[in-house]
Amino acid sequence: MSEYVLISKELLEKVIKYALTHCYERCPSERDAETCVLLFELIEKLNLALQLPCIYDYGGFSEKIFRDIIKDIEHRRGKKLNEIIKDFKTEGFRTLKDQEDYIDGVFAMQVVEVYKKIKTSKKLRFKVVHNRC
């Protein structure tokens, strides 16, 4: 059984702003797809005037966008992303674009996997309640 915590929007916004400093300072070298999805969902559901920095890079943050990133990499390279990643791991990178495709491809796969997990899970992640306590 999960435990839930009731927190004010103002306090949660402070926590989210604090977490976003990690995004701006450490991303993409230290990012976690599940946390990124959660941050994006919280910002969107709470209607905050905040954005993840990757929104500027990717043009948004959704399962479709990350599926499109995977398709683009696969189309340009002529094989499935799993094979591309495996090749990079064994053969290394020759160009900056190789590194970019590897980083974006791995992250896109992880994000898509998180969205799949969310869809199949019956567990409540969070709920916005508009009542005053």
Per-residue pLDDT of the chain (133 residues; tens, 9 = 90+): 678 888 889 999 999 999 999 999 998 888 999 999 999 999 999 999 988 888 888 988 999 999 999 999 999 999 999 999 999 999 999 999 999 999 999 999 999 999 999 999 878 777 777 766 6
Position 124 scores a pLDDT of 76
Position 132 scores a pLDDT of 67
What are φ and ψ of residue 89, in 5° steps? -70, -35
Look up the pTM and report it: 0.87
Position 1 scores a pLDDT of 65
Position 4 scores a pLDDT of 82
Position 133 scores a pLDDT of 61
The DSSP-derived string for 60-128 is S-SHHHHHHHHHHHHHHHTS-HHHHHHHHHHH--SSHHHHHHHHHHHHHHHHHHHHHHHHH--S-----
